Structure 1
Amino acid sequence: MSTQYSIGEFAKKTGLTIRTLHYYDEIDLLKPSFTSSTGKRFYSNENIMQLQKIVSLKFLGYSLEKIHELIHLKDWDLKESLEFQKQEMLQKKEHLNRVIRTLDHALFMMDEQGTINANIFMTLIHNIHKEEEQKEWLSSYFPKDMVEEMFNIPEQKHMELNKKMAQVYSELKAAYGQDPGNPHIQSLLKQYFELSLELYPGTIELVKNLKDQDIEFEQNAQLFPSPLSSEEDEWLAHAMRFYWNEKGIDINDHS
Structure 2
Amino acid sequence: MNKKMTSGEIAERTGVTQKALRLYDEKGLLKPVGYTEGNYRLYDNESLNVLEKIIALKHVGFSLEEIKDNLEHGEREPIADILKQQIEETENKILELQRAVKAMQAVLARTEEKANWDLAANIIRKVEKDQRADSRRLNAVAHAADGIEWYEKIFNNLGLKKNEKGLDLGCGYSALWRENWDRIPEGITIDGYDVKESWAEDFAQYIEDNKKSLPEAVDISLFWGDLEDVRTWDNITPNSYDKVIAHYLLNFLGDIKKFVSRAAETVKPGGMLSVNYFGVVKEYAFWEQILSDAGVDNRFAKEEREAMERRQAETKAMLSEFFREVQVTKIPGPLRYTTVEELIERMNRRYPNSGKYIKANRAKLEKHFAKLLEENESVVVDIDTIFYHCYK
When normalised by structure 1's length, the TM-score is 0.57
1:124 is aligned to 126
Query: Is the contact between residue 154 and residue 176 of structure 2 (CA under 8 Å) also seen in structure 1?
Result: no
Flag the 1:221–1:3 CA change in 2: closer, same or farther, 3 A.
same
Flag the 1:31–1:93 CA change in 2: closer, same or farther, 3 A.
same
What secondary structure, in the 3-state scheme, does the structure 2 residue paired with 1:30 have? coil
Which of the pair has the greater relative contact order for Cα pairs under 8 Å at 6+ separation? 1
Task: Give the alignment partner of residue 141 of structure 1, picking from 136, 150, 154.
Answer: 154
Identity, % of aligned pairs? Answer: 22
Task: Give the alignment partner of residue 225 of structure 2, picking from 145, 163, 169.
Answer: 169
- 1:72-111 map, 5 Å: 72-73=72-73, 75=75, 76-111=77-112
C-alpha RMSD of matched pairs (Å): 4.7
Structure 1: gaps spanning 5 or more residues: 152-156, 190-210
Q: What amino acid maps onto 1:130 in structure 2?
A: R
Query: Is the contact between residue 61 and residue 90 of structure 2 (CA under 8 Å) also seen in structure 1?
Result: yes
- 1:179-190 map, 5 Å: none
What secondary structure, in the 3-state scheme, does the structure 1 residue paired with 2:250 have? coil
Structure 2: gaps spanning 5 or more residues: 141-149, 157-173, 180-196, 205-222, 238-242, 274-392
Query: Is the contact between residue 11 and residue 18 of structure 1 (CA under 8 Å) also seen in structure 2?
Result: yes
What secondary structure, in the 3-state scheme, does the structure 1 residue paired with 2:92 have? helix
1:57 deviation in Å?
0.8
1:17-60 deviation digits (Å, cap 9, x = unpaired): 22211121122211223234653211223322211111111111
Query: Is the contact between residue 105 and residue 159 of structure 1 (CA under 8 Å) also seen in structure 2?
Result: no
What secondary structure, in the 3-state scheme, does the structure 2 residue paired with 1:42 have? strand
Structure with the higher fraction of residues in strand conformation: 2
CA distance in 2, matches of 1:131, 1:8: 51
1:192 is aligned to none
1:49 is aligned to 49
CA distance in 1, matches of 2:245, 2:199: 28
What secondary structure, in the 3-state scheme, does the structure 2 residue paired with 1:130 have? helix
Query: Is the contact between residue 106 and residue 125 of structure 1 (CA under 8 Å) also seen in structure 2?
Result: no
* Structure 1 runs, 4 residues or longer, greater than 3 Å off: 36-39, 112-123, 133-140, 146-151, 157-160, 172-177, 216-221, 223-231, 250-254
When normalised by structure 2's length, the TM-score is 0.40
Q: Who wins on radius of gyration, i.e. which is larger? A: 1
Flag the 1:108–1:30 CA change in 2: closer, same or farther, 3 A.
same
Corresponding residue pairs, total: 202
Structure with the higher fraction of residues in helix conformation: 1
1:174 deviation in Å?
8.8
